[in-house]
């Protein structure tokens, strides 16, 4: 799973785990845990997150790989990853795994901004200045990855602007139509007029 900040990835991942038995791995959560653990990369990760920047792939992929091995499961829901082409290439070359499909959460930027500003989980990046930077990074670096998977016919688009319960109904329909899905990525995108979105809408979408 991957997508725009605040579109509801984490919220829906919790529902999917309960209903479909996946292990949920949030790249952002793993990075935040790494900061808390006092690791040597902690300071670097913290400043990247504060700036809304993407942490070097070798760090994030290592954390994901470790968490996958420790889980004992073979069905993973990866949330907030890959964030850019480097993330994707590193993950695929290190693990040899490609996602079965990509859930693509479609949500207007104003709605995501509103949700982030009222999330109240004490995240250092949930302030207007960082949120704007995260949106920019998303548009510039993450959208091309969505286009990549879209061209491979792996993207399943969801209207994430609906109420959480209604979003989950749509998510369920997608999962119910799939059997034995080992790795799902979740993307969320904001609807803003830009060249990136134009590229995306011209790409083959379900």
Ligand X SMILES: Nc1ncnc2c1ncn2[C@@H]1O[C@H](COP(=O)(O)OP(=O)(O)OP(=O)(O)O)[C@@H](O)[C@H]1O
Ligand Y SMILES: Nc1ccn([C@@H]2O[C@H](COP(=O)(O)O)[C@@H](O)[C@H]2O)c(=O)n1
Which range touches ligand Y (CB under 6 A), out of 22-30, 36-44, 101-109, 158-166?
22-30
136 counts as binding ligand X under rule CB under 6 A: no
10 counts as binding Mg ion under rule CB under 5 A: yes
CA distance 179 to 101: 12
**Closer to ligand X by Cβ: residue 7 or 141:** 7
Cβ neighbours of residue 93 closer than 8 Å, sequence gap 6 or more:
none
Are 64 and 26 in contact by the 8 Å Cβ rule? The answer is no
Which two tokens mark 57?
A: 């792939």
Please report, as residue ranges, which positions from 142 to 201 form the binding site for ligand X (by CB under 6 A): 163-164, 167, 188
**Closer to ligand Y by Cβ: residue 121 or 177:** 121
CA distance 18 to 39: 31
Applying CB under 6 A, among 87, 90, 150, 190 the residue interacting with ligand Y is 87
Are 187 and 105 in contact by the 8 Å Cβ rule? The answer is yes
**Rule CB under 6 A: which residues touch ligand Y?**
5, 26-28, 31, 48-49, 52-55, 60, 80-81, 83, 87, 125, 134
């Amino acid at each position: 799973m991957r997508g725009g900040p605040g579109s509801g990835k984490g919220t829906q991942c919790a529902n999917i785990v309960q209903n479909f038995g996946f292990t949920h791995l949030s790249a952002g959560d793993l990075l935040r845990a790494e900061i808390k653990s006092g690791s040597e990369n902690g300071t670097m990760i913290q400043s990247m997150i504060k700036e809304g920047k993407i942490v070097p792939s070798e760090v994030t992929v290592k954390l994901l790989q470790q968490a996958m091995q420790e889980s004992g499961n073979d069905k993973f829901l990866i949330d907030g990853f890959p964030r850019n082409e480097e993330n994707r290439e590193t993950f695929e070359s290190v693990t040899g795994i490609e996602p079965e499909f990509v859930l693509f959460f479609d949500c207007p930027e104003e709605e995501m901004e509103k949700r982030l500003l009222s999330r109240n989980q004490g995240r250092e990046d949930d302030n207007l200045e960082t949120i704007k930077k995260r949106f920019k990074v998303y548009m510039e670096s993450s959208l091309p990855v969505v286009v990549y998977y879209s061209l491979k016919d792996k993207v399943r688009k969801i209207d994430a602007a609906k109420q959480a319960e209604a979003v989950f109904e749509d998510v369920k329909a997608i999962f119910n139509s799939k059997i034995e899905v080992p790795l799902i990525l979740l993307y969320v995108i904001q609807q803003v007029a830009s060249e990136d979105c134009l590229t995306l809408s011209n790409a083959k979408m379900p």
